Structure 1
């Protein structure tokens, strides 16, 4: 059986599910885009090609394997976008929770059943249908669970609203010993610079006490201020709206000292280096055109 353990975002990674781009399918129609950044690139004729994304995700795979991480992959379903495995499930402590994702993406969960079947059944939780949660909105931080949500009255009309308050309450009941905090995020179907698709698009911890954050991603200034005070100004890298658009906060920690980032993120990479991190820089720009990056591509199963 596969053992599960995820208590935070940065402890040494031992096992992960990494998405795949094989047989990813043709460029979708703009009307079928799940997010404004994908739509932008579809309309501009710059939507990423499968061969370019394959090269990028293979570079990510090589880094993970070099750090002796066991990497699991989804079964390949032709003409299905299977890059962003973070959306379909997530592990908290020793529990795998199935995400209730957009209905059009349900087949992505089926593609990892060969992995799920190796997990003790009592360690798998499938939420009720009215509970909406995606893994990108759930950040595990020791005694805390930070959860992105959207409280606007137009929640049901927005494809970019992925986690509801029923999801937040569900996690509170499931993990009564953790401090579960909800963060109301900005959403847009038309402007990617005004859309925090998930919490990890505007906030992410690195190391043991540092974080990357975009103040403008939070609808409630008090919720941003909570994170600011918790981590401390000296431990935060504040990013701009354009840097959020580029996905600066969607990096991925292999350990408390090693962070995988996009090679073009000069300001972030320099900040990480100054703070003592080993920075694994890889090309991931093409995949980033779909409003997801390195954290989105992973579903960690075990961290020390």
Structure 2
């Protein structure tokens, strides 16, 4: 079965990212504004290298982070699927743009019984869906669900800072709350054209798609808010120029600063309405959640977070249903 009813229903089947990254040879500075300064410096220093080559010890720690997450997920009965690795041909085809196979949340997403391949804005991520296609053939094709892809983005001039008209639509910007779908837009990832395409498709099935404007230094919507259970959320109010979406006006909110948001404080992962995963650096958030009766599991995710993503970014559910 393939189905995602919301962000906090019981997680039963999930795709968990592997850990591959190739630095671009040409760096677009403005596209790095969501990262910590130390990560920006690292990207500048290792142009054209594979992360494994540049940081062999950190590569091992990065892989272990994802393995640790898999162990916790399986402890709670979640079926975990892993993408394949990038091939040498795929890495070579990336050219100067670099390559990635590290945050499976973004190249596709699941809404209800619809599995949708996204359309990535960053050039190094535009082939990131390929390692997931084997899972699509084995898990999605046989299931009673829809499987389709967002239109491919337009080709644009290399010096175009916008990277074109898109449409861009990335899973980190997509949040599911029953028949309401939120799509974030900071100018770094999903855009209006992507949200409009999703609205046109999902509208036929009774969904309402709402675009949410984000601070330009926030990569995705899930870097600004995280839904813990019905009525409880972690959010960075400063990340929303128009305020936190009205659908959450009656929700209890654990507030985090913009600095904490850029460290991925909101990007934990609910396993269910009772269990939540976060990094020990956010113990203060975990203690507040515990006061609401949430059991918090802690996993060190420092290396993953240095790339601009954390637990939600590293996973994409195929079945999340109570």
TM-score of the aligned structures, taking structure 2 as reference length: 0.80
Contact 2:108 2:117 in 1 (8 A): yes
Question: Of 170, 179, 184, which aligns to 1:143?
Answer: 179
Root-mean-square deviation (Å): 2.3
Q: Distance in 2 between matches of 1:9 and 1:298?
A: 12
Q: Distance in 1 between matches of 2:26 and 2:260?
A: 24
Q: Distance in 2 between matches of 1:26 and 1:216?
A: 32
Correspondences of 1:148-227 after superposition (within 5 Å): 148-150=184-186, 155=187, 161-176=188-203, 177-187=206-216, 195-221=217-243, 224=244, 226-227=246-247
SS in structure 2 of the partner of residue 117 of structure 1: helix
- Post-superposition offset of 1:180: 1.7
Report the counterpart of residue 141 of structure 2 in structure 1: 120
Q: Distance in 2 between matches of 1:236 and 1:137?
A: 19
SS in structure 1 of the partner of residue 4 of structure 2: coil
Question: Of 6, 9, 31, which aligns to 1:11?
Answer: 9
Q: CA 1:41/1:278 → structure 2, altered by over 3 Å: closer, same or farther?
A: same
- Post-superposition offset of 1:81: 2.7
- Post-superposition offset of 1:107: 2.6
- Post-superposition offset of 1:114: 0.8
Report the counterpart of residue 35 of structure 1 in structure 2: 32
**How many matched pairs?**
279
- Post-superposition offset of 1:29: 5.7
Q: Distance in 2 between matches of 1:115 and 1:226?
A: 36
1:62 pairs with 2:52: no
Q: Distance in 1 between matches of 2:218 and 2:68?
A: 26
Contact 2:22 2:100 in 1 (8 A): no
CA shift digits 1:211-256 (9 cap, x unpaired): 11111111223xx26255142xxx1011111210211100001111
Q: CA 1:172/1:61 → structure 2, altered by over 3 Å: closer, same or farther?
A: same
1:82 pairs with 2:130: no
Q: Distance in 2 between matches of 1:145 and 1:228?
A: 13
Contact 1:29 1:42 in 2 (8 A): no
- Post-superposition offset of 1:179: 2.6
1:273 pairs with 2:290: yes
Report the counterpart of residue 96 of structure 2 in structure 1: none
Report the counterpart of residue 191 of structure 1 in structure 2: none
SS in structure 1 of the partner of residue 261 of structure 2: helix
- Post-superposition offset of 1:136: 0.3
- Post-superposition offset of 1:27: 5.3
Gapped runs of 5+ residues in structure 1? 156-160, 188-194
Gapped runs of 5+ residues in structure 2? 92-98, 153-165
Q: Distance in 2 between matches of 1:123 and 1:200?
A: 24
Contact 2:17 2:315 in 1 (8 A): yes
CA shift digits 1:184-229 (9 cap, x unpaired): 1111xxxxxxx110000001211121111111111223xx262551
* Deviates further, 78-87 or 33-42: 33-42
SS in structure 2 of the partner of residue 280 of structure 1: strand
Q: Distance in 1 between matches of 2:113 and 2:264?
A: 28
SS in structure 2 of the partner of residue 139 of structure 1: strand
